[in-house]
Structure 1
Amino acid sequence: MSKSIRQRLFAALAGFTVLLCLCYTGLALVIAYVTEDMLVQRLLEREAAVVSQHLRQHGELTPSGNDLIKTYVNYHDLPQVVREQVLPSAPRGEVFTTTGQHYHVLALDLVAAGKPQRSYLLADVAPVLVVQRLAREVGGVVLGVALALIALALLLAYWLARRLVLPLQRLAQEARQLAPGSAVHFSERDRPDEIGFLARRLETTFAELQAVLQREQAFARDVSHELRTPLTLMHNTLALAEAQPLGGQEQAQLRQSTDEMRATIDVLFALARAEQLPGEVVELRGCMEQCLLRLLDEHPWDASLLTLDLPERLDVAGNVQLVMLLINNCLANALFHGGPDCRISIAFAQGHLNIVNTVQAGQPRRVHGFAHGQNLLLRLAQAMRWDIAFHPGATQYRVAIVPTQA
């Protein structure tokens, strides 16, 4: 396709060059012939003025003093070849012959002896015509120079076509060589013209497409990975229900698996839409308070075990939906691993938000689904360009979050 563009551009430039050359050549010929005819006509008019003046002064029509111009009193005295091409009523005329003569005729309306009289001036201008003589004598040189100039113009048109289309060819070649998942960079992106704008737009478009594909792949992988455990538990619990009614523990497992699936699905959809969610200034303390109220509504936990140390107002850069999901999952994990009697401490200092939950000594560590949860929390933080780190210990578990300052 790029080669076709170069060929078409070269054809357009070459055609324009040849057409311009032909037009100027034709215009030059027209100007030369018109100038030649005007010169001859001027000579006839000057001779007509001399003849008219002599007639007025001396009362007789004398022959012309110019060897090229003859005076004829009557129309019938003109040569036959002239009479065949010029009518008696015509004021002037130009006669071409096959014998080498080239005539110009000018009619004179004079008054002789008180009577109007029409006479004629006939000029054989073949000896003074220069355009045809120049064409015969230097026509070959002019034609050679014209052909050389046309060849030079065609070479220039080819060079221009190649130079103008080369950035587009390079851009198309780089776009053709792009591999899925590779870094997108076009060498023409720094140009200040439309090609540079096109390269930058293509970079952005390709990067967005790759990001969309990566999010789609991650979403499919996460759906398969994160939902498998709760689905297996629900399937096994329902399979046991066929043999005996569900007890309180089994119902609690079903509710827990359902809650876990709902939370996981919310996180997965939020991550899938992370590129479309607008960034904004988020009041982190308000989000934290809303998440704590939701935690108290959904879980039987004593609020007196909470320690909260946050500034009166804490503005960060992020997205409200992702921030709420991140905090909700961190608090739910803290309660899940610490148990209903754990203490939870939330503090913000030196740009770090620390969520700490106590773990009873000797209590077996509950790891159901927690590795998967860490992965999702990491991706939630990365979607907002936050940092998050997990610090397990024997008596407490701490999650350190470094939000982006507004």
Structure 2
Amino acid sequence: MSIPPPFGPQPPQGPYQPPQPAQPHQQGAYGPPSYPQYPQYPQNPQNPYGTPGVPGVPGAPGYQPWGQGYSPYNRPAPVSGLAIASLVTGVLCCLPGVGLVLGLIALRRLRERGERGRGMAIGGSVLSGIGLVLGMVLVVTGSDTYIWNGFQEGARAGAGYAPARGECFDEPGGRLTGDTDGVDKVPCSGAHDGEVFATFDLKDGSYPGDDSLAAAADKRCYGLQYTYAMDSWAVPDDVDVYYLTPTGDSWSAGDREVTCVFGNTTEGKDLTGSLRNDASALDPDQVAYLKAAHVFNAAMDTAPDAEYVEDDLPGHKAWAGRVSAALAEQARMLRGHPWPADARAPVAALAAGLDDARAEWAKAAEADDADGFYRHYDAGMRLLDARRSVPPRKALGLETTPPAVDEGGNGDDGDGGGGDNRGDNGGDGSGSTGMQV
């Protein structure tokens, strides 16, 4: 028994045949209708397998490519600047309180802003806290003072001790001239090589050289001695002005200080006791008298460099004019102060003598020649006899022994009463060579 074939056209028997094009539907024919096949889309020559999701290329699936701005890696959160500052401050231990505060603030902001640096903030806070506790322990126990004193001693050992105003010292070699490696502080009540009466700083710039430095120190120190030893009569005759100045090497390291010193002019001889007699050691009446006397002393210090009048008559005449004006001012100051009862008469007599001397100095300032200058100059100096200053000084409790008179006796004693020439003609003295440290 045979099975009849199914309805409709049958494929031919035999080897495989390629599919035939569909035939249009025939009305009245048996079998299901057939439809035409649609053509295949062309493949992308750059990508024969098709590029999914690229617009304009048929057959692409329905997902989209990565959008603009996409980064395949996550960017790290920024590091907190406060955390860094806290760690640095804690490591340096310079401001432990600040480092602790910065660390705590950083920890709070890390959570709020999503920043990194938690480990640095914690480390800075811990180190700063330790430093703060140690600092408090040092203050409570007094160890901070001990450490600071040790630091100062170490600094002095390396840079040399610099004596201050009012301090006394010894120089290892016992000299106040030439170079020295340093000086040692000693009490002024005992024997010592020098006593500091002033210090000042020089202007910045290149090293001026030894000679220029010595000239500047010499001029300035001689003028400053009266701010410390107001009563020049109380300064021994064998005491003069010296100074300590920077060396070329110390200048390069920033040293600009000049130290003005009283020292003994006799080699190997020490000073004993302080020479200080300023407003801190004198009463108001003594200070008023010495201030008036200093007006004359300052004018005498402006004498011309030429030793003889014939070599510089205009310079000497100008100097005489300054001395005449100073004597007038000194007399005015003496008359204007309310002196104690026992000092009024001697002070008034001194002021009258200053008036007479002023007249002669004024005539010297107007002299036509050297002879005329000498004549009035000699008369004016005779009227400035130191013995006229003794009565008011005795009444005021000041030194009553006039300084020794040098050759020619054409100096000042700080009273307008003759005396030695300390500070005269620019103050040349044994201390003019100075000492470098």
Fold match by TM threshold 0.5: no
TM-score band by shorter chain is: under 0.3
Give the number of the structure whose residues are more often helix, by fraction: 1
- TM-score scaled by length of structure 2: 0.21
Q: Which structure would you say has the larger RCO, counting Cα contacts within 8 Å and 6 or more residues apart? A: 2
- TM-score scaled by length of structure 1: 0.23
